[in-house]
Amino acid sequence: MNINAFSLEGKIAWITGASYGIGFAIAEAYADCGATIVFNDINQELVDKGLAAYAEKGIKAHGYVCDVTDEDAVQALVKKVEEEVGVIDILVNNAGIIRRIPMHEMSAADFRKVIDVDLNAPFICAKAVIPAMIEKGHGKIINICSMMSELGRETVSAYAAAKGGLKMLTRNICSEYGEKNIQCNGIGPGYIATPQTAPLRERQADGSRHPFDQFIVSKTPAGRWGNTEDLQGPAVFLASDASDFVNGHILYVDGGILAYIGKQP
């Protein structure tokens, strides 16, 4: 086995919404494996925060302000990256939002907003990079899915609809562009400790653990929340030549949640 198949030397990787959290950890791993990092975030403050965090790790990242739901802005960004950095080899659709609101109380505007960021934006970003990938003869697209690509739960109707849709967009990009040597796969993180899930881990007034925190630990065979580092190896694999015949797959990195019926009483 040629271990260099896992190398990302000479590749340009664009990770959306990667100033911190899961996107940042994936970008850090890609840089460690030799890739040049491009990231965007929604405002200059976040981009600056990201640039400082990358610099602290010794990574020279290229950061841009871009709202991934804005097709014109995304097309302009990809053009700029091609001029300033080069053709994107790897796209990670990471930017995402969640609204935890019971469905019967959720406004259609909130529902649409989640679908826009978590489903429409991955379409917009993938569409923007695919033509140059076809021309170059290869490309990797990785969509950050979720447990909610498979499961439902109270209050996350829009998020589950979007992440379920993202799973099928992944399979469709594979179906449509596999013969162009483009691989599109997903990563389905389990419950990962990031700012997005911080409200689910908040300590109670009496200092005890949040009931949802206890629930997740009991639902996870690994017996713990994931951390962002848990996603790094799988993300490198799906970006590298080592996964060239893996296409349309969702790799769940969940400590075993999807395999488990739950603790018996």
Q: Which residues are catalytic?
A: 159
Query: How far is the C-alpha of 252 from the C-alpha of 39, rounded, in Å?
Result: 24
Does residue 41 bind ligand NAP (CB under 6 A)?
A: yes
The answer to whether residues 230 and 242 touch, using CB atoms and an 8 Å cutoff, is no
By CB under 6 A, the count of residues binding ligand GCO is 14
Tell me which residue of 74, 62, 77, 68 sits closest to 42, measured CA to CA.
Answer: 68
Task: Pick one of ligand GCO, ligand NAP, none as the site partner of residue 203 (Cβ within 5 to 8 A by kind).
Answer: none
Does residue 130 bind ligand NAP (CB under 6 A)?
A: no
DSSP summary character for residue 182: E
Going 237 to 242 to 248 to 254, the CA torsion angle's sign is negative
Query: How far is the C-alpha of 97 from the C-alpha of 114, rounded, in Å?
Result: 6
Q: How far apart are the first and last CA of the chain?
A: 46
The rounded Cα 89 to chain-centroid distance in angstroms is: 16
Does residue 100 bind ligand GCO (CB under 6 A)?
A: yes
By three-state DSSP, how is residue 186 classified? strand
Task: Pick one of ligand GCO, ligand NAP, none as the site partner of residue 39 (Cβ within 5 to 8 A by kind).
Answer: none
Contact mark string toward ligand GCO, 146..185, x via CB under 6 A: xxx----x--x--x--------------------------
Does residue 227 bind ligand NAP (CB under 6 A)?
A: no
Select the residue interacting with ligand NAP from 35, 78, 117, 184 (CB under 6 A).
117
Select the residue interacting with ligand GCO from 88, 98, 125, 126 (CB under 6 A).
98
User: Where on the chain is the footprint of ligand GCO (CB under 6 A)?
Assistant: 98, 100, 146-148, 153, 156, 159, 189-191, 196-197, 200
